[in-house]
Chain A
Amino acid sequence: MDRQAIPVLTESQKMEGRKFRPSLTSRRKQDQTAGRVLFAVTLLPIALVTLITIGLAARFWPILKVYSFWDLVSGTVWKPQDGLFGFWPFISGTFWVTIVGAGLAIPPCILTALYLSEYARQSTRAIMKPLLDLLAAIPSVVYGVWGVIAIVPLVEKNIAPFFEKYLGFVPIFVSKNPTGYSILSGGIVLAVMIAPFIIAVTYEVLMTVSEGLRQASLAVGATQWQTIRSIILKQTMPGIIAAVVLGATRALGETMAVLMVVGNVPQVPRSIFDTAYPLPALIANNYGEMMSIPLYDAALLGAAFILLVIILIFNIASTLVLQRMLGKRWV
């Protein structure tokens, strides 16, 4: 047979009828490996949180063999030298500062987000949004310094005397603390710090309301404000609450700025003008010092454990709500 007569076959024609090659060519292997590595890296943070939680629980354990969990959490006296490890001043301090901070932040944040989503023109939005995001980039310690220089004196010289004079009969406004280092100062600093975050998330939530729904309300002659009140806020309330709670979890864990302005006295606060000593400040101020005191290490890491668990619970709950509301927008 004349070999010349055989037509030249293309590569794929030569392959015809053959089996496909098994997929473990080197390219394919590379791809698989990359996928696995990326997946592992993605899992790392989750693994880390789990390990930290377990690690903290383990270091917390020794003190739980001596005192019950309930005794520790509800104990109001913190005197490690005498073996008294009451967490209540710190836990309540944390909540006081967080609630005051979130409370101060909520109304202006929601109004700002409403302004941006409902009233502002596209061009205004394009300027305001990055500016607000910029606020979130300011380091915590700078806010702390601002608190010490500006807010603490303001509370001491103006706000506390004013409240003492006009609202002194309300227990939470009584001012016995002569300095401005107080829950209110911590709350104000926190409010400013978490505001950009709450605004950004609330804005996202408001943007989930379809234009058609807004127009449905406007079409019957509702004003924009009536539309906001009875349609938009109603529709987005769960998401806004979640945004605020998520903001509050940041406040719960915020350490530096708060530590600089709350006074850090381990007592159970009674008024917004009292000093407080939130959990993060306790840990940051004391860990690594006086560690020879028995169970001190276990107590501090126990405090860290409690803080972490509180934050995880709030965080996961609000994230779930937001995920349902925002769907794919929430990344």
Chain B
Amino acid sequence: MDAHIQIKNLNAYYDDIQALKDVNIELPRKQITVIMGPSGCGKTTLLKTFNRFLELTDKTSITGEVLIDGQNIYERDIDVTEVRKRVGLLAQRPFPLPMSIYENVAYGMHIHRMKNNRNEYRKAVRHYLEVAGLYDEVKTRLTNPATSLSIGQQQRLCLARGLAVEPEIILGDEPTSALDPVSSQHIEGRLLGLKEQYTIVIVTHTLRQAKRLADYVIYMYMGEVVESGPAKEVFNNPKQERTRAYLEGQF
């Protein structure tokens, strides 16, 4: 397997609570990896180690390695902002920045000075709004505040904002859990379309969504990775009893 992300001997702690226990996994490039498991098993924590978000919480610590293309992102002199630029995040619910729709998408590009002039920015904003499937709905009101959009539209805007800084990896922490079914479907469709170009890692607690999206599956329980592998194998023929129990809906 062509692994984009490799996790080696990863342990994560909130103060003295251990939330991840000796995690060793590999995530395939340009596929959708779905992380499943019951609530509180450490899915969010694992995801937060991929873009160094765990350190935003007080008193957290980790040991082990998270390698992206073979490089440990926890190495001493790594620029954390570059890690986060290359590993985008779609949060559990949308947080539009307090600015216009246009500025939301341009925000990260401005920060990294990715374009040379206004026209290039304008083109890029349009492009990423199209990729996120939002452009047609907002093209006449790009200067309106982003908060004027519906929740579903806001989440697609957040997707466009994340894509605009040209990440290689997209993380999603239950990105549809705050959305209505139609909006959820919309986001799922976008994610499926994006996997040609991006490595995508999605946390979900709904088995059905996992089955719709997953190429590769990681099943976690109580801070441990119980099983990981290609979706077909894990769904049809789980090796571990605990995975089987979860898939059969015993949780």
Contacts and interface: CB of A to CB of B under 8 A. Distances in A.
A220 B99 contact: no
A247 B162 CA distance: 40
Listed residue (A213, A215, A220, A223) with the most chain B CB atoms within 10 angstroms of its CB? A220
Interface centre among A216, A221, A230, A234 (most CB of B within 10 A): A221
B98 A235 contact: yes
A219 B158 CA distance: 10
A220 B91 contact: no
Main secondary structure of the interface of A (DSSP, over half): helix
A219 B96 CA distance: 12
Contact of B88 (A122, A210, A220, A234): A220
Given A213-B97, A230-B107, A234-B98, A219 B58 contact: no
A217 B98 CA distance: 11
A223 B98 contact: no
Given A215-B91, A221-B111, 20 more contacts: A122-B58, A122-B59, A213-B98, A215-B53, A215-B56, A215-B95, A216-B91, A216-B158, A217-B97, A217-B107, A219-B51, A219-B84, A219-B91, A219-B162, A220-B84, A220-B107, A220-B162, A220-B165, A222-B81, A234-B99
A218 B56 contact: yes
A121 interface: yes
B242 interface: no
A122 B58 CA distance: 7
Interface in A168-218: 210, 212-213, 215-218
A46 to B, nearest CB: 35
B85 interface: yes
B91 A223 contact: no
Interface centre among B83, B107, B162, B165 (most CB of A within 10 A): B107
A229 B93 CA distance: 23
A212 B81 contact: no
A219 B88 contact: yes
Interface of A: 121-122, 210, 212-213, 215-223, 226, 230-231, 234-235
Nearest to A220: B108
Interface of B: 51, 53, 56, 58-59, 81-85, 88-89, 91, 93, 95-99, 107-108, 111-112, 158, 161-162, 164-165
Given A121-B58, A216-B158, A226-B111, A221 B82 contact: yes
A220 B85 contact: yes
A117 to B, nearest CB: 13
Nearest to B89: A219
10 closest A-B pairs by beta carbon, nearest first, are A221-B85, A220-B108, A216-B95, A219-B89, A212-B95, A221-B81, A221-B84, A235-B98, A122-B58, A213-B95
A231 B53 CA distance: 18
Nearest to A216: B95
A189 B103 CA distance: 43
A326 to B, nearest CB: 17
A249 to B, nearest CB: 27
A245 to B, nearest CB: 21
Contacts of A234: 98-99
Contacts of B84: 218-221
Contacts of A235: 98
Nearest to A230: B107
10 contacts: A212-B95, A213-B95, A218-B84, A220-B165, A222-B81, A223-B81, A226-B111, A231-B98, A234-B99, A235-B98
B88 to A, nearest CB: 7
Contacts of B58: 121-122
Interface centre among B51, B95, B112, B164 (most CB of A within 10 A): B95
B165 A221 contact: yes
A226 B81 CA distance: 11
Q: Pick from B51, B83, B93, B164 the residue with the most CB of A within 10 Å.
A: B51
A219 B164 CA distance: 12
Nearest to B83: A221
A222 B53 contact: no
A218 B97 CA distance: 11
A241 to B, nearest CB: 16
Contacts of B95: 210, 212-213, 215-216
Contacts of A220: 84-85, 88, 107-108, 111, 161-162, 164-165
Nearest to B103: A230
Nearest to B85: A221
A122 to B, nearest CB: 5
B129 to A, nearest CB: 15
A236 to B, nearest CB: 9
B93 to A, nearest CB: 7
Nearest to A211: B56
Contact of B108 (A212, A213, A221): A221
